[in-house]
Amino acid sequence: MRAPRSLRHPPIIITVLVALAAPAIGMRAQSAKPPVDLAGPTGPAGRAAARWVEQTLRKMTLDEKIGQLLVTSLNATFTSADSEAFQKLQHLVRDVKVGGIHVFGGAEAFPALMLNPTYGGGGASRKGDPYAAAAMLNRLQRDAQIPLLTTADFEGGVGYLLNGATRLPRAMAIGAARDPDLAYRAGKLSAEEGRALGVVVDFYPIVDVNNNPRNPIINIRSFGEDVSLVSQMATAYIHGVQDGGMIATAKHFPGHGDTATDTHLGLAVIEHPRSHLDEVELPPFKAAIAAGVGAVMSSHIALPALDPGMVEGALQPMRSPATLSRPILTGLLRGEMKFDGLIYTDSMSMLAIAENVTPDRAAALAVKAGADQVLHSPDDDAAFRGIKAAVASGEISEAQITRSVERVLTAKARMGLHLAREADLAQIDARLGTREHQQVAADLAARAITLIKDDRNQVPLTLPKSANILYLSVLDYASGWREGAPSRAFLPELKKRWPNVTGIEVSDRTSADELDLVRALARRSDAVIVSVFVRIASYSGRMDLSDRQVSMLDSLAAGTKPLVAVLFGNPYTATFLPKLPAVLLTYEEYDGAESAAVRAIAGEAPIGGKLPISLPGMFPFGHGLDRPATASHAAR
C-alpha cells in the first residue's frame, strides 16, 4: 500500500516543537503541510508568531511564568458557571494563570463500601460529551490572559473519551495490522477531531516496548514488543497527528514496557543496565524525536542505571523516578538525545508520586528535573507555591523557568492560538465520527484480528443458519465498564447470522452451580462461541480470569463440538487458556472490535493479523494464521 506523504519524505522541521503550523482553531485542518515560506521561522506567519512569543515573554512576571508550567484538568460534562468546580477552574485560569487544561471524559464517584460493586467499586470513568468539552474550553480560553495549551489522551481516538467521536483501536491492534498507512490515517483523523474541539496536544502515541507479559497498565496500549515495529508504527502515527494539526506526544519516557506495576498504584522500578535500555527502551523515543515529535511525557518509573539517587524531601525513602530526575530528563533527554520540544510529566495525581511526595515538593522537583509542564497535580495552588519557593531559594533558576515558558509559548503560537483560541461549536457535528473516519476505524479493527489457533479447522464457522449456538460472555470482573456492557455488539451481530443463540454472562461472581448449568447447555448446543474480556485499566492492577472460569473453559474445550474463543483486551490471556481449540485475538474491548470479530468468525472478512508480541510457551512474535473471506458467508 502506498505510504503516506510524511513517510516518504523527511518532515520539514520548522521549530524545535512541531513539524507543522496548524490552522487556527475552528478552521478545517489542511491535509498537507503549509509551505515553508508561510510556516517557517523566516516566513511572515513564523516571524509574527516569534514576535508574539518574544513580546509576551518580556511582559510576564515570575508568578505568571510559573503559572504557565501548570496544566490543570476538567471533565467533559456539563458544568454550571455557578458551580464550585467551574469557579475553581476560573480561579486557576484567572489568578494562577495556568498554562494548560487537560480534558478527561466523564467521571462518577461511588463510595467503596456498601454499594453494589457493579456500580464502579470506588469510582468509575465514563465517556464525556464533545460539546460540553468544547464549550468549557471556550469559556476558559476567554478567561485566560494567555491562550491555554489544551491536552487530552486520545489513545483510542477522540471516541475513547467522548461519545459520538471516532473510537479507534489502540496501539497493539495497530501493531497487529502491520500497516503504517493505517497508523498514519488513525493519527491524522484523531488530530482533526481533536482540533475541532479545541484540543491541541494529543498525549499519544505510546512508544513503550511491551516486553513484559505481566504488564498491567501498558500492554495493549503499546504497539508491541519488537523495537522496529514500535518505532515504525509510532513514527507513522506521529506524522499523522502532526499533519492533522495537533502536537503528538511520545510517552512514557524512558520506557514503561518492562514493568509489572501500574504506576497509578505505586512506583515501578526497572533494573536493566544502560546497555539494555539503549537496545530496547530508548530507540523508539529516538525514532519519535527524529520524526519531529512535539512533546515527550515522562514516566513515574525509577531506573537506577540512569539515576541511582533518592528523592529529596519524599515522605518516605524513595528512588528517583524519571519524572523527578534531572539526570534522566535534562541529562539524557535534553542533553544526549537532543530533544528540545515540550517535556510533560505524567499525571502527578498518580499514586507513584502522590503517595510519596507532597504536591508542592513534587511540582518543584519535576521542574527542577527539566519538565516544562506539570500535569494534573492533586493541588495546583500548592504546586504553584512549591515551584515559587524553589525559585526563591535558588534551587531552580529563573532562567530555567523562562526557557520552559518560551517553549510553552512557542507551542501555542505554532498552533495558532495567539490568533484564534476558541473552537467553532457549529462545526463539531460535521467533523466528529464521520463515515470516512469510522471506515478507517473499522478497517483497523478488522486488519488487527489475529487467529493464533485453529486446531480443528473451525474458523470460519460453517454452521447452518438454524444451528443452536451457546454464546458465553466471560468477564474478568463485573464492575467498571466504561464503554457500555460487554458483548452488547457481539451478541446482536451473532444473532443476525445465527438466530438461535443462547447468551450467558460468566464473571468472577458466577457460582459453581451456575457454571454447571453452562456445561449442561454446552452439551445440548451445536457449537459454542466464547468471548473472553480481560481489561487493561488504570488503577485496576488485574489482568486474569478466576480459577473457576479457567476450569470451566478447559472442560468445554475437552468436548468435540465446534468451539471458537475470541479474546478481547489482554492478549496474554491466551497463555493460561492453552486448551482452547480455536482462538482469535482483537487486542481491544469495544463495540467496533466485537463487530469485527463476528464478521471474521462468519467468514465475511479475511483474517490476517500477526502477533505484535510473543505469547510465552505458545507462539512467537509474528505468528498468525491466514484465512480468506468465504463467498458463501460474505454474501449474507
**Residues with catalytic roles:** 264, 346
Nearest to 448 by CA among 155, 166, 169: 169
Q: Which three cell numbers stand for residue 199?
A: 484540543
- Alpha-helical regions (H) of 349-432: 351-354, 359-369, 380-392, 398-414, 428-431
Distance between CA atoms of 341 and 147, rounded to whole angstroms? 19
CB 479 within 8 A of CB 119: yes
CB 72 within 8 A of CB 101: yes
Q: Which three cell numbers stand for residue 140?
A: 476558559
* Host H or E run for residue 506: strand 501-506
Count of beta carbons in the 10 Å neighbourhood of residue 160 = 23
For cell 454472562, the residue is: 505
For cell 480443528, the residue is: 456
Nearest to 338 by CA among 271, 293, 381: 293
| β-pair partners for 532 | 474, 567
3-state SS, residue 153: coil
- Alpha-helical regions (H) of 105-152: 130-143
3-state DSSP percent of the chain in helix, strand and coil, to 5: 40, 15, 45
Cα distances (angstroms) measured from residue 544 to each of 170, 214, 293, 403, 571: 20, 10, 35, 46, 11
Q: Which three cell numbers stand for residue 327?
A: 539526570
Q: Which H, E and C letters describe 567-580, residue by residue?
A: EEECHHHHHHCCCC
Q: b/e per residue, 112-144, with b = 16+ CB within 10 A?
A: eeeeeeeebbeebbbbbbbbbbbbbbbbbbeeb
Is there a cis peptide before residue 252, judged by omega within 30 degrees of 0?
A: yes
Cα distances (angstroms) measured from residue 2 to each of 6, 141, 179, 181, 238: 11, 40, 10, 7, 17
Q: Which three cell numbers stand for residue 202?
A: 494529543
Q: Which three cell numbers stand for residue 53?
A: 512569543
Nearest to 610 by CA among 618, 602, 620: 620
3-state SS, residue 517: helix
Alpha-carbon Rg for the chain, nearest whole angstrom, is 25
User: For the chain, what's the residue count?
Assistant: 636
Cα distances (angstroms) measured from residue 120 to each of 351, 390, 477, 634: 19, 40, 11, 40
Give one DSSP letter per residue of 269-315, joined into a string: E----HHHIIIIISHHHHHHHHTT-SEEEE-SEE-TTT---B-TT-S
| β-pair partners for 450 | 585
Cα distances (angstroms) measured from residue 360 to each of 25, 93, 189, 222, 348: 34, 18, 38, 32, 11
Count of beta carbons in the 10 Å neighbourhood of residue 228 = 11
CB 479 within 8 A of CB 121: yes
